[in-house]
Every structure is written in structure tokens, then in C-alpha cells.
Amino acid sequence: MKGPDKMNKHSPIKPPASLLERANEIYDFGAALRGPAADANVDQQPIEKPAAEPETAKAAVAPAIAPVAAPLPVRPATARGKLRAHIDREALRAANYIDPDGPVTGLSEEFRIVKRQLLLAARGGRGFDPIEHGERILICSANPNEGKTFCAVNLALSMATEKDNRVLLVDADFAKPSVLARLGIEGGRGLMDALADSAIDVEDLVIETDVNGLSVLPAGAQTNQDTEYLAAARTAAVLDQLTRHDPARIIIFDSPPALAASPASALALHVGQAVMVVHADVTTDSALRDALSLLSGCENIQLLLNRAKFSPTGRKFGNYYGYGA
């Protein structure tokens, strides 16, 4: 079944060498993103975003600078009547997701490494300062069916086990939301409703789950103006409210594919980190360059190699605990 195997570096945070080496032995992502004129021997250097979009790139619809809005008032958490839901563990196991109550597996170990890099950028440590809005993480892909939702859900489940953080998983794929269905939760009002109606408090739409540390925010009502709402000043205020309400909260956005729908480029303006999920042997170099150019509003982008068929190093996480990967 599909699952993430590698991460390649796009931010100043140095990942564990094994993941970087495994990705670079399969794909020279650095050379692909920098273009043919770049130095081919800089695999471990931060990769700059393309200076200009490729000729085939779609025009980004988001503004160059995120609008600024006055912060919204935050009610105390004790004043809220939280929605609550049960996550279907059996459905997770059947679809090869991380089981919150299950044993350590190769998949859960891979996401432990992935989340550590993201948390280091979000919270700082080991000589690094936290990046601005690093607690907001966008999960994206160039095209549909490359595993972005699979990675977003598993990353959220993995981060929920952290002792010093809580996770809010936001379904921001407004046209084709699927996060709640993957978790076995019924949908309802969500982020788009809060963006469209100033009378709605977004915190009242957050659903607490029976997985300790994990909550979800549905996509909400479908609209033909999702990109316009995301580019409006209220979006910045709503997202700031989600962070100010709970400073320990990490927010993970499952966005639409960058080359299939425009909201991804608008969302990139509001996050501190982005993870581009790359389908091994399927995502093309040109699609990857095009997608990254559309996410130029985010300065810290990493690649997550998904559905790789083998490990060049022979590594099989999970065996140490007595379980096969």
C-alpha cells in the first residue's frame, strides 16, 4: 500500500541523513527544481524556488502579499461547547493508515522522522529559531492521487502523540473534501463557513476526537469563490484566532493539488511550512517546478517522496520493535 518513504530538504533544517540520501539516490530533486544550468553537486543545499515560472505554469491567483486584518476576539476554551467524534480505528487499519492504538510500524516510524523536522522548524531548538507561522503546515501535491491526504492524516495522527503539542487537522480541499471520510467522521460546517460569515466563531466548528491531542476542522460549505475568500483579510484573522486560542496547537492543512485548483496558492500565503508530496516514478520534474512556483507564498518547502517501491539503504523501520515494516 502507499506510504511515505523519503523527505528531501527545502528548508534550513537538516533532516536525518538517511532520508535525504535515500531520496537523492532515486531522484535528483535539487537539479530538477533548479533547472539544467544549476550545479548538479549540491544535493544537500537548500533549494531555491524558481526565479520565474516555467512556460507551462498556470498563473497564480493569490495576491503577492497576504492581507492584514485586525485580530478576532478569542473566547476562553471553557466557554465552548465542543463538538466530539469517534475515529474509526478499523477503517484506518483497513486503509493502511497509522493506528493510534496500534503497535509501532515502519509507517509510523517514517512519520516520526518527518514530523521531527517540521516540529523543529515550528518550535525551534538545537540552535535554530522557530520560523514565522511555522506551526501552520500545508500539505500539498502537484496533481490529484499523489497521496497528499494520506500523508496529511498520518502526519496529524503522528503529531497527536507529542506530549507538548496538540494538532488541528484542517480539510482545506474545499471542492473535494475527504479528511473526515478517511477518519470515519461525519461532516458539517467548517472553515469556509467561518470565512464567509463573520458571525461564525471558527472555534465552535472544531471537532474534538477521541484520539488524544487530535482535533479536526471540516472544509465546510462548497463555493465557487473559495480562492477569493482565502485571499480576503478575514482569513488571516481567522487563522490567527486558531493559533491564539491554543498556543500549543500545530495546524495541518490538507489543501487541493496545486496544479488542479487555485486555493493552494492562496493558502501558501498563510502558512510557515509546506510539504509537497511527490508520487515516486509518477510526478514529473516539470509538474514539480510548476507546483512549487504556485506555492511561492511559502518560503519553507520540503518534499515528501511517497509510494517508493524500495529503499536503497535496505532500511526497514519497525523491525526493531518486533513488527515488520
Domain of residue 150: give its range: 4-33+48-321
In a domain, residue 43? The reply is: no
In a domain, residue 22? The reply is: yes
Residue 113: per-residue pLDDT:
93
**CA–CA gap between residue 270 and residue 66 (Å, rounded):** 7
Instruction: Kindly state the helix (H) or strand (E) to which residue 289 belongs, with its residue range.
Output: helix 285-294
C-alpha distance across the termini of the chain, in Å: 11
Burial of 215-225, coded b for 16+ CB within 10 Å and e otherwise, reads bbbbbbeeeee
Residue 128: per-residue pLDDT:
83
**CA–CA gap between residue 228 and residue 317 (Å, rounded):** 43
In a domain, residue 39? The reply is: no
Q: In degrees, to the nearest 5, what angle opens at C-alpha 125 toward C-alphas 121 and 126?
A: 115
- Higher-confidence residue: 200 or 65? 200
In a domain, residue 56? The reply is: yes
**CA–CA gap between residue 112 and residue 123 (Å, rounded):** 16
In a domain, residue 41? The reply is: no
| Tally of domains in the chain | 1
**CA–CA gap between residue 263 and residue 7 (Å, rounded):** 24
Does position 4 have pLDDT exceeding 80, yes or no?
Answer: no
In a domain, residue 59? The reply is: yes
In a domain, residue 42? The reply is: no
- Higher-confidence residue: 307 or 286? 286
Does position 208 have pLDDT exceeding 90, yes or no?
Answer: yes
Residue 74: per-residue pLDDT:
41
Residue 313: per-residue pLDDT:
58
In a domain, residue 255? The reply is: yes
Does position 24 have pLDDT exceeding 80, yes or no?
Answer: no
Does position 81 have pLDDT exceeding 90, yes or no?
Answer: no
Q: Which residue has the cell 531522484?
A: 27
Q: What's the average model confidence in pLDDT over 74-101?
A: 77
**What CATH number did the domain enclosing 182 receive?**
3.40.50.300
- Higher-confidence residue: 131 or 66? 131
Cα 179 to Cα 58, 132, 163, 195: the distances in Å are: 26, 26, 24, 19
